[in-house]
Amino acid sequence: MAASKENRGDAPPERLRPKRILLECTWTYLHEINTGIARVVRGIVRNAPQLCEQYGIACQPVIIRADGFQAVGSLPSAGSGPAGGMEKKIISLISRAAGTAPGFNYFLTRTSPGRFILKLGGGIVKTAKEIVLSLLPRGGHVEVSPDDLVVMLDSSWKACPWDYIARLRKNGAVVAAVLYDMLPVRFPGSFYPDLVDVYRNWLSRACGHHDFFMAISGATRDDFLRYMSKNTGSPRAPRVEVFPLGADLHGSLASGAVRPVFQDVFRGGSRPFLIVCTLEPRKNHAFLLDAFDLAWKEGVDARLVIVGKIGWMCEPLVERIRKHPQFGRNLFMFNDAGDAEVAFAYENARAMVFPSVAEGFGLPIIESLSRGLPVLASDIPVHREVGGQYCTYFSLFSPRELADLLIRCLKQENFLKAPPPGQFKWTTWQESTRMFLEKILRVWAEKKAGQA
């Protein structure tokens, strides 16, 4: 899919460009994962320096320190960050316990002792990471000048340095932030209360501390503007630009082995339907199971493979899956699939089913269509924006509609068709980063012209 007119940008003339772009990437620098926001940060930080050279602009990744920004050479590869795998091990332990111990997730999130333990554990992780930060070399302090463009690229809302940003803007620097989604405030019941409070606090101060924002989808931009109009009372809407995410699939999902037990699920019997995403409330796995239950009651030989890590507030869902009469026969779940196994699933499934209530973007849709896998997606604005004419959409009003689509797919072999090879072409990370840079450079030039 070619970049839309809305997403194309042109870099301003050389005399109207900043001398340097600073890309804040603190959270991703300290963590070991390569999913979600971290995946976006890695994609842009990997491609931006070389592209900036073409514009004659320096580009520097930075992390937040107590005294300002510190330059970092590059981001550690996933799994080798300075936290040394500590958080990954803790999260993995909690996830396994949440999936196997009845009531464990409920205890952690819905009872006072559980919330205390969860908060204590989070505090230990936070303290350990602060120690890691304090042990990093103190060299590389970045002096931000009025000719710099600062982009809060990472999930800085978790610990935003408000006073520091205010000083930078007062001294003439332009500061931008990236918007990934508005889900914690649109669907607060799908997240832990502490996270919702943190995000609301960030939103309450965001417009007063940033010159403009970059959203990863038009739907996210629209949600942000609606929220700000309703909750801030500001007569002036913030400046928000949109850029598309990249999807370099063949390079990012090629490594690793595929276990025989994983292969057998896709090669035994009819080709299964697939869902790839973390198990958490807004992903709507329960709705998907309701639809399959309807199909199974009608004697349809429908098979479903669930691929995704166990997330949060999903203990009843995990228990329902593992105790389901179809589990191990027509219903399968893999919570530890590697990259190669995800790629194998995309290549051997019948179709992707993506029933999310809300998304910031919906990357599994792009990954599926780019690999020639048909997609059944919930009919929400961001899915229409991303999938366009290439998806088959269903309402979330009732699982009956989805069940009928599943049955029709099985009875009519050619009912779902993937885009012809080469017809669906999505943006690469290099193309995404170029559009991102062109837009932030254009806005910087406009802001500086307004200051003159």
Output the pLDDT for position 71.
92
**Gap between the Cα atoms of 333 and 330, Å rounded:** 10
Question: In terms of domains, do 9 and 56 share one?
Answer: yes
CA dihedral 170, 206, 39, 151 (to 10 degrees): -20
Question: In terms of domains, do 43 and 144 share one?
Answer: yes
CA distance to 71, 195, 288, 357, 383, per residue, from 395 (Å) = 48, 29, 12, 10, 12
Question: In terms of domains, do 218 and 153 share one?
Answer: yes
What three-state secondary structure class fits 310? Answer: strand
Question: In terms of domains, do 347 and 273 share one?
Answer: yes
Question: In terms of domains, do 332 and 376 share one?
Answer: yes
Q: Residue-wise pLDDT tens for the chain (452 aa)?
A: 444 444 545 665 666 789 999 999 998 888 766 667 888 898 899 999 999 999 899 999 999 988 889 999 877 765 555 554 444 444 445 444 544 444 555 555 556 566 566 556 555 545 444 555 544 554 588 899 999 999 999 987 878 899 999 999 999 999 999 999 999 999 999 998 988 999 999 999 988 899 999 999 999 999 999 999 888 766 677 899 999 998 765 444 455 788 999 999 998 778 999 999 889 999 999 999 999 999 999 999 899 999 998 888 899 999 999 999 999 999 999 998 877 888 899 999 999 999 999 998 888 898 899 888 999 999 999 999 999 999 999 999 999 999 999 999 998 878 887 777 677 888 889 999 999 999 999 999 998 887 65
**Gap between the Cα atoms of 274 and 308, Å rounded:** 11
Residue 101 lies in a domain: no
Question: In terms of domains, do 339 and 398 share one?
Answer: yes
Question: In terms of domains, do 181 and 257 share one?
Answer: no
Residue 100 lies in a domain: no
Question: In terms of domains, do 221 and 329 share one?
Answer: no
Output the pLDDT for position 428.
87
The tokens for 74 are 């590059």
- CB–CB of 394/409 below 8 Å? no
Spatial neighbors of 278 by CB under 8 A, at least 6 apart, are: 308, 309, 310, 311
**Gap between the Cα atoms of 364 and 109, Å rounded:** 28
As for how many domains the chain has, the answer is 2
CA distance to 82, 87, 290, 335, per residue, from 365 (Å) = 32, 29, 21, 19
**Gap between the Cα atoms of 146 and 148, Å rounded:** 6
| Residue 263, domain extent | 249-411
Question: In terms of domains, do 358 and 258 share one?
Answer: yes
Residue 49 lies in a domain: yes
What three-state secondary structure class fits 142? Answer: strand
CATH for 227? 3.40.50.2000
Residue 449 lies in a domain: no
Output the pLDDT for position 122.
53
Alpha helices in 232-297 (DSSP H): 249-252, 260-267, 285-297
Spatial neighbors of 88 by CB under 8 A, at least 6 apart, are: 32, 33, 79
CA dihedral 69, 73, 74, 77 (to 10 degrees): -110
Residue 123 lies in a domain: no
Question: In terms of domains, do 174 and 237 share one?
Answer: yes
Question: In terms of domains, do 262 and 365 share one?
Answer: yes
Output the pLDDT for position 92.
46
